[in-house]
Amino acid sequence: MLACVLEENGPSLKEIARPEPLADEVLIRVRVAGICATDLELIRGYMNFRGVLGHEFVGEVAGPQTHPLLGRRVVGEINCGCGDCPWCARGMERHCPERSVLGILDRPGAFAEYTCLPSRNLHVLPDAVEDEAAVFCEPLAACFEVLEQFPEIVEREVLVIGDGRLGLLQTQVLHTAGARVGLLGRHPEKMALLAPLGIPAWSEPAQAVCSEGEKWPVVVEATGAVEGFSLAVSKTKPRGVLVLKSTVVSEARLNLSSVVVDEITVLGSRCGPFAPAIRALKAGAVRTSAMIHGRFALRNAPEALEKACEKGIIKVLLRP
């Protein structure tokens, strides 16, 4: 099968053997996959990953032939736990010390004609959710995780910092949940996607004010940049909550004195629940189509990855 494989000298197209699912796994024919900022960081050396890239996908169960989901459209949670440790017993496979992660850690990804995942990781898609919306399910689920960890956020004023795909999705999730949310970004053309929803957006930190002034009760950092943390701290009020959604790869010197002096609560937030993400897509509560800035065949994956690196690009899709 054709796949986009990350090797020492970078990503390239290769013909490789079709994966064979293990006893608890299914074979998935990939219908569409999305290029994520994490994929680009992996290419730059993050996690020292080598293998088939890609973790955002929509697929169709292709085997075993006796599987009850055969032929069904699915999305899949990317963390695959060992199934035996205390974390897995609590349903927290994402923290399993022996986990593999689709296209990120010890597991071939979805930039290929086929991939494999455990059956328990799969979620069947309603017919009403088209592939190009469903491919956003994994990052959208990560945005719903904030509501799981911090339900009180819907009662607060919230500033999301970062107008990339994650920031735009997180802002919409919080808005739909009832939070009074605004977005601080750098790209007017991206922030304009929120205008039809009536969500305020600003390009200058001094402009981003709430009822209590320039500092906010809750700030969600989603910039993916080292400097995003310092900016987020500066916008968080004393005894406020700072939610970190970015996985910043670069090492940096951080001045944590303001976190201590202002008694800021820092909440790390990563992957999340797929069920509410699918419900939101089915209900049309989250807008995704305007975020798609490129569509490529898998055979043109190198060009697609280059496109995804261009300034202002939010999401590029691959189809086998």
- The predicted-structure confidence for 256-308, as pLDDT tens digits, reads as follows 888 888 889 999 998 999 999 999 999 999 999 999 999 999 999 999 999 99
Q: Where are the domains of the chain?
A: 2-136+288-319, 141-268
User: What is the per-residue pLDDT for 248?
Assistant: 64
Residue with tokens 């995704």: 288
The identity of residue 227, as a single letter, is E
On the question of pLDDT at 247 being above 80, the answer is: no
**Two tokens at 166?**
């994650």
pLDDT digits (tens, 9 = 90+) for 160-178: 999 999 999 999 999 999 9
Measured in residues, the chain has a length of 320
**Short-list 177, 252, 279, 261, CA closest to 220:** 177
**Which CATH number applies to 141-268: 3.30.300.10, 3.40.50.720, 3.40.50.10420, 3.40.50.300?**
3.40.50.720
Residue 49 and residue 4 in contact, taking contact as beta carbons nearer than 8 Å: no
The matching CATH number, chosen from 3.90.1330.10, 3.90.380.10, 1.10.600.10, 3.90.180.10, for 2-136+288-319 is 3.90.180.10
Using an 8 Å Cβ cutoff, are 29 and 13 in contact? no
Residue 207 has pLDDT above 70, yes or no: yes
